[in-house]
Amino acid sequence: MQDPLIYLTLAAAGLSGLAIVAVTALRGWNGWLDLKRAELARRTDESAPPSTATRIEVADLKERIRKLEAIAAGVDL
């Protein structure tokens, strides 16, 4: 005959382990949701119109690219 205390101990240990796994999974899920919320907030901030300095820099880069493409094509500027 087996001792009932062994079954009770195993059941308590299993329930404790299950609770630990569930809490860990829920914390991970909440962390993932926080990450996605932060990504969405950052994405809405990035949709703001670019500043004047950024526009000038982009125009300058486009002009440099146009000149480099002309050089690569063998066109004299």
- In angstroms, the Cα distances linking 10 to 2, 33, 45 are 13, 35, 53
Region 50-71 average pLDDT: 89
Confidence class for position 51, pLDDT limits 50, 70, 90:
confident
**pLDDT tens digits, one per residue of 4-44:** 999 999 999 999 999 999 999 999 999 999 999 998 888 77
- Under 8 Å between Cβ of 77 and 70: yes
| pLDDT greater at residue 22 or residue 47 | 22
